[in-house]
Amino acid sequence: MSQILIIDDDPGLLSVCRVGLEALGHQLRTAETGNEGLSEAAIRPPDVIVLDLGLPDLDGLVICERVRTWSQVPIIVLSADGSEDRKVEALEKGADDYMTKPFGMRELNARITVALRHRPADDERATEIVVGPLQLDLVHHEARLDGQPLDLTPKEFEFIAYLAHHVGKVCTRRMILENVWGPHYSTEMQYLKVYAYRLRRKLHDEKGRLLQSDPSVGYRLAVPGE
């Protein structure tokens, strides 16, 4: 029996989906806010996420991005906005499919079936990364240094998290720019200098022992003790 997580703030829609999808053989879990949905997806990973973009606390696109930092679970977006730009943006942020409201239960079930067919066989990326004194909670976008909270901007967090995913390896400037800022920023090298400077100050790493740089290539998050 497949585990489906629906993140939507419409109780009526959740009720209809529960009846319809459970009758079709799925097991349904629901969340009415983005933060609740992120926690649910991390604690009990579903087989498919059905995600509304218009949530009360977080934009659905932010949820797509955050889930993609630790999981490749299929994400089917629901939205009342059927514009091409919105669809493209959702797909670029990590969604696998896009449905416009209102929709039929048979269509939703068909799309879930396709998503299940193509879901990754092994999806075990960590939801938390620890590199020496640095702890990163990828679900809630929270960072700690020696157990104390770090006040990082979203892009600062994404920058350090990307390096943490590849800890010990040099990531080229282009790799970082394209994966953190997007493909249209691949030549904005000055961004990295500014953000690396800010991060080192916040990490008390002014000498660059933890966040290391290779001026001709890119940046590396060092393994403590190396």
Q: Considering the domain boundaries, does residue 226 fall inside one?
A: no
Q: Are residues 75 and 137 in the same domain?
A: no
Q: Tell whether 206 and 156 lie within a shared domain.
A: yes
Give me the number of domains the chain comprises.
2
Confidence bin at 121 (pLDDT 50/70/90): low
Average pLDDT over residues 89-115: 90
Question: Of 83, 99, 118, which marks where a domain is finished?
Answer: 118
- pTM of this structure: 0.69
The per-residue pLDDT for range 175-210, each reduced to its tens digit, is 899 888 887 877 888 889 999 999 999 999 999 999
Q: Same domain for 132 and 51?
A: no
Across residues 98-108, what is the average pLDDT? Answer: 91
The per-residue pLDDT for 1 is 79
pLDDT at 117: 82
Same domain, 104 and 141: no
Q: Report the mean per-residue pLDDT for the chain.
A: 89
The CATH number of whichever domain residue 104 belongs to comes to 3.40.50.2300
**Residues 23 and 113 occupy one common structural domain:** yes
For residue 84, pLDDT beyond 60: yes
Q: Give the span between the Cα atoms of 99 and 77, in whole angstroms.
A: 6
| Residue 24 lies inside a defined structural domain of this protein | yes
Query: Which residues have a Cβ under 8 Å from the Cβ of 118 and sit 6 or more positions away?
Result: 74, 96
One domain, residues 197 and 111? no
Query: Collapsing DSSP states into helix, strand and coil, what is residue 84?
Result: helix
Which class for 159: exposed (0-12), middle (13-18), buried (19 or more C-beta within 10 A)? buried
Query: Do the domain assignments include residue 148?
Result: yes
Residues 6+ apart with CB under 8 A from 82: 100
Average pLDDT over residues 54-73: 91
Could you tell me the CATH number of the domain that includes residue 142? 1.10.10.10
Domain, as residue range, for 18: 3-118
Query: Average pLDDT of 129-148?
Result: 93
Percent of the residues in the chain that have a pLDDT greater than 70, as a whole number: 96
pLDDT exceeds cutoff 70 at 122: no
Judgement on whether residues 113 and 134 belong to the same structural domain of the protein = no
* 6-27 tens-digit pLDDT: 999 999 999 999 999 999 999 9
Among 86, 118, 150, the domain boundary falls at 118
